[in-house]
């Protein structure tokens, strides 16, 4: 009795394992983590769907790798620990390749690189974007980003305020609590195009410091996951060459975001 | 003194029964061992991952965060206590308008998350800047710290009003009647007779409320006030080291433990007439 029950349980288990194995062999499954609060790179539409440059690039890469991809949204603060904990396999969320992060995750080659910029209200008396120009001012940035690190290291005479997502610092520059905000030029440019963004203008772009910003924006994978990293690198190369990247670039921006 | 004849000598004591190893007992010991092992593992982790440069870099930040947390909780609990008096009065009032108003206040602030209240007061009121400027309140609401204190005060006042109302309600009607029969003025009776008895009932719930505020204050970083939790998250996002969170947990634990002892002391003091 006892033995036969065990056999009865083991048979479907073996069958399940076999079919799962077969499905695995057919196509690669990749879970992609993204933030979903960083327009125009990755954000949720009003009906809850992901859109943006990162998302389109991710879809193109998956198509290139013949992988079945699934998106997972995750708060920016916890996005690296979630990758390490296996909630997803790759982060495609406009993450700069920098030294601090390289200690925790591996990066692919860059898939775009745009400079940071500073936005100020239209009637602001801020003339430029140097430390002196911003002395005594309140600057907003999204926390745990390269931009916040840059702001805290560079604008030591200013009050740097850190926000959970880009949405909140936008609210605070509109209502006048902030004198300036720092973020990627493309993100800020997109914000200025909206009705809310009518308050503000770009004061100038900054020269990214290699030490903080690294060579650009890459895809993060778990340390040692070389298989996926190499496949992604090959896919980035392929979409750069076959024109798919150019198509996505043109869909979103009027200029080249890849950099040189 | 001599032993009375026939008294029991130690040898005649009934043998001590050994407690049997029941299932519950085994389970209890096993669970205790698991807890002890976990505590040891955490301690070992802390010792092993001890990093002096990390400590040097982040200890001052943790201290400044802790100071923000303490200030925020202490001030909001005090202001909330003051505000809770008229609200509790309203809740117990026979005036239907007052009682409905106080009920609505408590209903709203207990029924919605502190996070939402803080967010609405900071970002929500921020979008009414011209109106607030017109009535001269913008300089107050412009500052994130003021908004946090304001939101926390309103929130804890609702809870404290209910604690106060319940405690006063628990004092028997006879006490009020006896006071008025003796010709003691109502305010004096409240101060000298009702409140001292109500406080015995209210003390533990007050303690709970302060503990909940200490932990609830961890959300304040969403409006850019960097309290202990905010500094922890910042430290974690720069180091990706889990011990940053363990440190925060230990500091919160110490804070709550301190408070618990303080409340025990107060309880001893206000119930000394009940001790024999």
pLDDT digits (tens, 9 = 90+) for B29-65: 999 999 999 999 989 988 888 888 888 999 999 999 9
| Disruptive mutation site among A80, A162, A175, A179 for chain B (greatest number of B CBs within 10 Å) | A175
Nearest residue of A to residue B126 by CA position? A175
The average pLDDT across A233-251 equals 94
Q: How far is CA B97 from CA A138, B83, B84, B104, in A?
A: 45, 18, 17, 11
Question: Is there a domain that residue A24 lies in?
Answer: no
Domain count, chain A: 2
A206 in the same domain as A123:
yes
Please judge whether B126 and A161 are an interchain contact, meaning their C-beta atoms are less than 8 angstroms apart: no
Average pLDDT over residues A42-50: 92
- The parts of chain B modelled with pLDDT lower than 50 are 1
B233 CB within 8 Å of a chain A CB: yes
- Compute the distance between CA of residue A26 and CA of residue A164 in angstroms, rounded to an integer: 40
User: What's the domain range around A97?
Assistant: 29-113+216-252
pLDDT, position A20:
46
Cβ atoms within 10 Å, residue B22: 9
The DSSP 8-state label assigned to residue A124 in this structure reads -
Q: How far is CA A41 from the centre of its chain?
A: 7
pLDDT score at B241 = 84
Q: Does residue A143 belong to the interface with chain B, where contact is any CB pair within 8 Å?
A: yes
A151 and A124 within one domain? yes
The answer to whether residues A195 and A224 belong to one domain is: no
> Which of B127, B238, B240 shows the shortest C-beta gap to A175?
B127
What is the C-alpha separation between A136 and A44, in angstroms, rounded?
35
Q: What's residue A55's pLDDT? A: 96
Determine, for residues B224 and A100 on separate chains, whether the beta-carbon distance falls below 8 Å.
Answer: no
Q: Tally C-beta pairs within 8 A across A and B.
A: 43
**By CA distance, what is A81's nearest residue in B?**
B240
Task: Compute the distance between CA of residue B32 and CA of residue B9 in angstroms, rounded to an integer.
Answer: 38
Q: What is the pLDDT of residues A81-129, one digit of tens each?
A: 999 999 999 999 999 998 889 999 999 999 999 999 999 999 999 988 9
For the segment A178-197, the average pLDDT, to the nearest whole number, is: 93
Please state, in angstroms and as integers, the Cα–Cα distance from residue B210 to each residue in A51, B148, B161, B195, B260, following that order: 43, 16, 14, 20, 10
Tell me the fold of B58-274: MetI-like fold (1.10.3720)
Chain B nearest-CA distance from A213, in A, is: 14
Give the pair of three-digit tokens for residue B154.
Answer: 């309103």
What's this model's pTM, rounded to 2 decimal places?
0.82
Pull the structure tokens for residue B262: 């303080």
Number of Cβ within a 10 Å radius of residue A135: 11
CB B65 within 8 A of CB B227: yes
Q: What is the DSSP letter of B120?
A: I
The answer to whether the Cα torsion of A205, A210, A215, A219 is positive or negative is negative
Q: What is the pLDDT of residue B5?
A: 57
When pLDDT is cut at 50, 70 and 90, the band that residue A6 belongs to is low
Q: Cα separations (Å) of B236 from A62, A79, B58? A: 31, 12, 10
What A27-30 contacts at long range (C-beta under 8 Å, 24+ apart), as own/partner pairs, is: A27/A66, A27/A67, A27/A68, A28/A65, A28/A66, A28/A67, A28/A68, A28/A231, A29/A67, A29/A68, A29/A69, A29/A70, A30/A62, A30/A65, A30/A67, A30/A68, A30/A69, A30/A70, A30/A89, A30/A90, A30/A228
pLDDT at B13: 76
Determine whether B16 is exposed, middle or buried from the number of CB atoms within 10 Å of its CB (0-12, 13-18, 19+). exposed
Question: A223: which residues sit within 8 A by CB, 6+ positions away?
Answer: A104, A105, A106
Minimal Cα–Cα distance from A136 to chain B, Å? 16
pLDDT at res. B6:
55
Chain centroid, CA A4 distance in Å: 53
Average pLDDT over chain A, rounded to whole? 88
Please list every residue in chain B whose beta carbon sits closer than 8 Å to the beta carbon of residue A172.
Answer: 123, 126, 224
Q: Quick check: B224 and A162 CB within 8 A? A: yes
B112 touches chain A (CB under 8 A): no
Shared-domain flag, residues A101 and A140 = no
Confidence of residue A21 (pLDDT cuts 50, 70, 90): very low
pLDDT value at residue A23: 44
* A180 in a structural domain: yes
CB contact under 8 A, A175 and B126: yes
Res A1: pLDDT? 44
Do A71 and A82 lie in one domain? The reply is: yes
Q: Is A144 in contact with B222 (Cβ distance < 8 A)? A: no
> Do residue A75 and residue A197 come from a single domain?
no
Asked whether residue A183 is assigned to any structural domain, the reply reads: yes
In this structure, are strands A180-184 and A138-142 parallel, antiparallel, or unpaired?
parallel
pLDDT of A10 reads 54
A166: CATH: 3.40.190.10
Contact B142/A at CB under 8 A: yes
> Chain A within 8 Å of B144 (Cβ-Cβ)?
yes
What whole-number percentage of chain A has pLDDT above 70?
Answer: 90
């Amino acid at each position: 009795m006892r033995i036969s029950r065990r056999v009865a349980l083991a048979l479907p288990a073996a069958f399940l394992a076999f079919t799962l194995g077969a499905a695995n062999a057919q196509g690669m499954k990749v879970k992609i983590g993204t933030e979903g609060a960083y327009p125009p790179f990755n954000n949720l539409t009003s009906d809850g769907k992901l859109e943006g440059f990162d998302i389109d690039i991710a879809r193109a890469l998956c198509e290139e790798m013949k992988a079945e991809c699934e998106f997972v949204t995750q708060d920016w603060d916890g996005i690296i620990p979630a990758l390490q904990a296996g909630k997803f396999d790759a982060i495609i969320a406009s993450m700069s390749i920098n030294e601090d992060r390289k200690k925790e995750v591996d990066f692919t080659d860059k898939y775009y690189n745009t400079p940071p910029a500073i936005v100020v209200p239209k009637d602001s008396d801020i003339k430029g974007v140097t430390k002196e120009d911003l002395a005594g001012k309140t600057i907003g940035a999204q926390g745990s980003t390269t931009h916040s690190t840059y702001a805290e290291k560079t604008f030591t005479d200013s009050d740097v305020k850190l926000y959970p997502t880009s949405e909140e610092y936008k609210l605070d520059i509109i209502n006048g609590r902030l004198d300036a905000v720092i973020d990627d030029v493309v993100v800020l440019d997109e914000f200025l195009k909206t009705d809310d963004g009518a308050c503000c203008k770009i004061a100038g772009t900054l020269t990214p410091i290699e030490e903080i910003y690294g060579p650009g924006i890459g895809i993060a994978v778990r340390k040692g996951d070389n298989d996926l990293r190499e496949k992604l690198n090959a896919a980035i190369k392929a979409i750069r060459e076959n024109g798919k990247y150019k198509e996505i670039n043109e869909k979103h921006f009027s200029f080249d975001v890849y950099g040189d | 003194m001599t032993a009375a004849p026939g008294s029991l000598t130690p040898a005649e004591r009934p043998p001590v029964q050994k407690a049997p190893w029941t299932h519950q007992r085994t389970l209890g010991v096993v669970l205790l061992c698991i807890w002890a092992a976990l505590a040891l593992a955490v301690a070992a982790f802390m010792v092993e991952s001890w990093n002096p440069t990390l400590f040097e870099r982040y200890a001052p930040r943790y201290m400044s965060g802790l100071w923000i947390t303490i200030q925020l909780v202490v001030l909001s609990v005090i202001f909330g206590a003051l505000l809770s008096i008229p609200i509790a009065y309203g809740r117990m009032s026979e005036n239907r308008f007052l009682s409905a108003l106080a009920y609505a206040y408590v209903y709203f602030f207990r029924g919605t998350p502190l996070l939402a209240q803080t967010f609405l007061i900071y970002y929500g009121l921020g979008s009414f800047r011209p109106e607030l400027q017109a009535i001269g309140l913008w300089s107050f609401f412009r500052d994130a710290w003021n908004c946090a204190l304001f939101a926390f005060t309103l929130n804890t006042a609702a809870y404290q009003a209910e604690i106060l109302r319940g405690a006063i309600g628990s004092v028997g009607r006879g006490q009020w009647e006896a006071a008025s029969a003796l010709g003691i003025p109502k305010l004096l009776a409240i101060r000298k007779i009702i409140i001292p008895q109500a406080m015995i009932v209210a003390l533990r719930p007050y303690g709970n409320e302060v503990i909940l505020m200490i932990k609830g204050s961890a959300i304040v970083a969403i409006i850019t006030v960097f309290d202990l939790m905010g500094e922890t998250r910042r430290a974690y996002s720069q180091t990706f080291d889990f011990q940053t969170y363990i440190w925060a947990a230990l500091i919160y634990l110490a804070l709550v433990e301190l408070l618990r002892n303080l409340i025990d002391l107060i309880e001893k003091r206000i119930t000394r007439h009940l001790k024999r």
